[in-house]
Amino acid sequence: MNQKETVMKEQWDLIIRPYRNLFDLNFKEIWQYRDLLGMFVRRDVVTVYKQTILGPIWYFLQPLLTMLVYVVVFGNIAGISTDDIPQPLFYLSGIIIWNYFSECFMQTSDTFSQNQDMFGKVYFPRLILPLSKVVSGLIKFFIQFILFAGVYIFLLIQGVAVMPNLAILWVPVLLILMAAMGLGFGLIFTSLTTKYRDLKFLVQFGVQLVMYATPIIYPMSAIPDKYKTIIFLNPLTHIVEAFKYAFLGHGSLTAFGLLYASGFTIFILIFGVLIFNKTERSFMDTV
Amino acid sequence: MSDIVLSVENVSKLYRLGEIGTGTISHDLNRWLAKIRGKEDPFSKIGAVNDRTQKAESNFVWALKDIDFKVRQGDVLGIIGKNGAGKSTLLKLISRITSPSTGLIKIKGRIASLLEVGTGMHPEMTARENIYLNGAIMGMTKKEISRKFDAILDFAGCTMYVDTPVKRFSSGMRVRLGFAVAAFLEPEILIVDEVLAVGDAEFQKKALGKMKDVSQREGRTVLFVSHNLAAVKDLCKNGMLIKNGSLSFSGTAQETVLEYQKIVGGGNVYFHEGSIESAIGNNNIRILEFSALPTVGEEINIESGINVLLKFYNSKPNINIDATFELRTSDEVTVFHHGPLITQKNDSKTGIYNVTFKIPSKLLNAGNYYFKVIFGENQRYVLYTNPDLISFEVQNISIGSNSSTLPGVIRPNLEYAIDFNYL
């Protein structure tokens, strides 16, 4: 009789408890819902520019116009050096890699508040949604990368002396680091904002501020010594610098930089996933 | 071998009342301190019973308290209760939208909840894209959806509009599309919350039929929350009544619906539980029970006849009491006035009186009626008046070849004769 009962207990497919172990992550379940991830990506990509005249051209226009503004404002008016790299290439490379980070961060940082209607009605592993944003951000990145490559090849034909080097093999790693860091921060922010809305106000201009603390519109060499430590401590610096180095030959790709950025990213991502996992169970009561 | 597929064990859910978001840091700190010292959550002790008619004494309320039940494979369980009783909260816990404060919920097999139809559908996307998206949200794989795609479109009845953005659909069509996707889910346990309240009559019939199919032919387990008592009686084997956050009755669906009608004012049965002092009324009179039930059959219709019962407590001795019943239609037309004398000559006693009478069949026409009841002394002074404690609907049934509702407040069966002469 007793034996029968123990057998019975093991048969439950799912047990819902009031509290769950912090590290109780169900990756198997996320894998089971991978089709849903694909659908969400499709939804994002298909619907963004519905009923616009220019459609996906906006993917190009946004970085292109930003680049032009940077060329005028930072390059010509402020006269910030670009280390002899053609200004369009210098800014564009920074813009696209930065865009990917900010896309991952901004899009995931309001996961709970944006989707509360859906989350209130149906269960699926909530992590699917921020993950889908990272993937659709990647698609957007590739489209913008085509623009970058176009400008790059155009200038190459014009005889500008830039050459990609072997460091280009690191680019996938750099992209993963960017995605993971954006996602990690996004998860932390969305989890905290379910209860304390204050952080929401930080997201918008916080990203702007951090961008100025990252060598996007200026090269490392142009930084006065007293600010160097701050810029150097910013893990994004190393990723952006490595990306620029791979394509433009200027910048820096150091083992220390990459290790530091990777360590930081892993920590943020794990912390983000854990806090997100804890929040997802009860956020409907506090949102 | 037991075939229990869902086991809810002592589940409770605590909610915070009022505005959330101000001063919660201090509460959070308090909680956290209690937690690290190994004590109970300091706010869960003071949670009040979920009764929205009472003024809250504490900031926390038990939306559900110690719910305990088991559901067997193939069971169709109807969950009923007043608005805010905690039905939807219970479904949300079972479908993992939010987590319980205490207790365990154990589930066997795949579970799908339909707390809404068409969740996550995007207005800019086409019907085809939305079927895939919605299906995936509900937990289907792409392959599964592709296999059932034609059947879903067919059930929704919008094959023609498969490549039209959903925003061009009428709201009814959107609901149909959403329900169609849900109808082809194949979970072991299906949870349905009042989604059938939308859509036209034809669609509701179709949806109910599909649910019947799912439960009876395919042997799946269904949890069904609804205010549509007829649907609950029709679909469900068993019922569960939730009152103020706790399980107050469980039994067959029929019994549960009857029990529910007893606690809901405005139905055809009023039944008071508890002390006489807390019953509806005043210091002279307290109404303990008041009901209008069909003389024959399950529902009140134009042929059933109605038994009326009034049970009340009288506190005034040695007076003459009368009780006047005024039957009124929902458009405030008084149909009749019936005033039986309870006592004849100043000899009332303190205690409980029962008054019964019968409204004959084939008297009232189909429609909604309610009772006003006036207690009087010596047919001159009013002891207590209740304007509308119980109401009921008389259903139309076809008599002979006539199936439509006839005009008029009453529909008496008059005796008649016909005489005919040639000129």
- A215 falls within a domain: yes
Which is it for strands B246-252 and B381-386: parallel, antiparallel or unpaired?
unpaired
**Which residues in chain B have Cβ-Cβ distances shorter than 8 Å to A282?**
98-99
Number of separate domains in chain A: 1
Chain A residues whose CB is inside 8 A of the B107 CB are 12-16
Contact across the interface for A42 and B109, Cβ inside 8 Å: no
A239 closest CA partner among A66, A93, A140, A106: A93
Helix spans in chain A (H): 2-10, 27-32, 34-48, 57-70, 87-108, 111-114, 116-119, 128-157, 171-193, 198-212, 225-233, 235-248, 255-280, 283-286
Of the residues B64, B96, B143, B189, the best mutation for testing chain A's interface (the one with the most A CB atoms within 10 Å of its CB) is B96
Give B293's strand partners. B307
A interface mutation test: which of B7, B106, B128, B148 has the most A CBs within 10 A?
B106
As to burial, measured by CB atoms within 10 angstroms (0-12 exposed, 13-18 middle, 19+ buried), residue B356 is: exposed
A95 belongs to a structural domain? yes
Residue in B with minimal Cα distance to A115: B120
The candidate with the shortest Cα–Cα distance to A140, out of A51, A45, A216, is: A45
A267 domain residue, yes or no: yes
Within-domain flag for A160:
yes
Q: Tell whether A56 is within 8 A of chain B (Cβ).
A: no
- Kindly state the average pLDDT of the residues B54-76: 79
Express each pLDDT in B351-396 by its tens digit. Answer: 999 999 999 988 998 888 888 899 998 888 899 988 878 888 888 8
Establish if A24 belongs to a structural domain.
no
Looking at chain B, which residue has its C-alpha nearest residue A196?
B21
Q: Say if residue B112's pLDDT is above 70.
A: yes
Whether B97 contacts A120, CB under 8 Å? yes
Q: Do B137 and A14 touch (CB under 8 A)?
A: no
Q: What is the pLDDT of residue B44?
A: 55
pLDDT at A46 over 50: yes
B94 to chain A: which residues are within 8 Å by CB?
A: 16
What does A138-202 look like in DSSP terms, one character per residue? HHHHHHHHHHHHHHHHHHHHTT------GGGGGHHHHHHHHHHHHHHHHHHHHHHHTT-THHHHH
CA distance A247 to A245: 6
Amino acid A105 reads F
Q: Among B115-119, B195-199, B234-238, name the one with the lowest average pLDDT.
A: B195-199
DSSP 8-state assignment for residue B277 = G
Whether A246 maps to a domain, the answer reads: yes
Averaged confidence pLDDT in chain A? 86
Nearest CA to B208 out of B187, B189, B186, B233 is that of B233
Query: What pairing do the DSSP bridges indicate for beta strands B285-294 and B280-281?
Result: antiparallel
* 3-state class (DSSP) for residue B343: coil
- Closest to B361 measured CA to CA, from B293, B306, B406: B306
CA distance A224 to chain B (A): 41
Q: What are the tens digits of pLDDT across the range A111-126?
A: 888 888 888 888 888 9
For residue A159, give its domain range.
34-45+54-286
pLDDT score of A280 more than 90: no
Backbone angles phi, psi at A11, to 5 degrees: -80, -15
- What confidence tens digit (pLDDT) does each residue in A186-222 have? 999 998 888 777 788 888 888 989 999 999 988 888 8
Q: Which of A95-99, B124-128, B396-400, B405-409 has the lowest mean pLDDT?
A: B396-400
> Nearest CA to B94 among B225, B14, B191?
B191
Name the token pair of A153: 């090849």
Distance in angstroms (rounded) separating the CA atoms of residues B136 and A34: 9
In angstroms, the separation between the Cα of residue A127 and the nearest Cα of chain B is 13
Residue A257 within any structural domain of the chain: yes
Three-state DSSP class for A237?
A: helix
Find out whether B243 and B85 touch, Cβ atoms under 8 Å: yes
The CA distances from residue B175 to B118, B131, B168, in Å, are: 7, 12, 13
Residue B108's CB is within 10 A of a number of other CB atoms, namely 19
Distance from the B129 Cα atom to the nearest Cα atom in chain A, whole angstroms? 8
Model pLDDT, residue B38: 65
Q: Is A143 left (phi over 0), alpha (psi -120 to 50) or beta?
A: alpha
Residue B401: which residues within 8 A CB-CB, separation 6 or more? Answer: none
User: Is A6 a domain residue?
Assistant: no
Q: B180-190 in b/e burial notation, b at 16+ Cβ within 10 A?
A: bbbbbbebbbb
> In the β-sheet with B246-252, what is the strand arrangement from edge to edge?
B111-114, B189-193, B221-225, B76-80, B238-243, B246-252
Pick the closest to residue B207 from B182, B187, B189 (CA basis): B182
Beta pairing partners, B175: none
Give me the amino acid identity at B110.
Answer: R
Q: Are A118 and B142 an interchain contact pair (Cβ–Cβ within 8 Å)?
A: no
Q: Do residue B137 and residue A124 have CB atoms under 8 angstroms apart?
A: yes
Residue B48, pLDDT above cutoff 60: no
pLDDT at B1 over 90: no
Number of A to B CB contacts under 8 A, please give it.
114
Chain B neighbors of A15, CB-CB under 8 A: 104-107
Give the other-Cβ count within 10 Å of A185's Cβ. Answer: 25
Q: Is the pLDDT assigned to residue B183 strictly greater than 70? A: yes
Residue B216 identity (one-letter amino acid): Q
- Residue ranges and CATH numbers for the domains of chain B are 72-256 (3.40.50.300), 269-394 (2.70.50.60)
**Residue B411, CA distances (Å) to B332, B363, B394, B398, B400 in order:** 18, 5, 11, 13, 15
Measured between alpha carbons, how far is B60 from B43 in angstroms, rounded to an integer? 7
B300 Cβ neighbours under 8 A, 6+ residues apart: B268, B292, B293, B294, B306, B392, B393, B394, B395
Residues 6+ apart with CB under 8 A from A8: B2
Give residue A106's pLDDT. Answer: 92
Strand pairing class (B221-225; B76-80) = parallel
**Nearest CA distance, B179 vs chain A (angstrom):** 14
Closest CA–CA distance from residue A99 to any residue of chain B (Å): 25
Contact B139 A285 (CB under 8 A): no
Contacts of A202 (CB under 8 A, 6+ apart): A189
Instruction: Give the strand pairing for B60-72 and B48-49.
Output: parallel
Q: What value does the mean pLDDT of chain B take?
A: 82
Q: Does residue B56 register a pLDDT over 60? A: no
Answer whether B272's CB lies under 8 Å from B279's CB.
yes
Which one, of A67, A180, A92, lies nearest residue A133 by Cα? A180
Any idea how long chain A is? Answer: 287
Beta-sheet pairing, B238-243 with B76-80: parallel
Per-residue model confidence (pLDDT) at position A7: 47
DSSP for B154-186 reads HHHT-GGGTTSBGGGS-HHHHHHHHHHHHHT--
pLDDT of residue B15 exceeding 50, the answer is yes
Model confidence band, residue B21 (pLDDT cutoffs 50, 70, 90): very low
Average pLDDT over residues B79-106: 86
- Cβ neighbors of B236 (< 8 A, separation 6 or more) are B76, B77, B78, B222, B224, B253
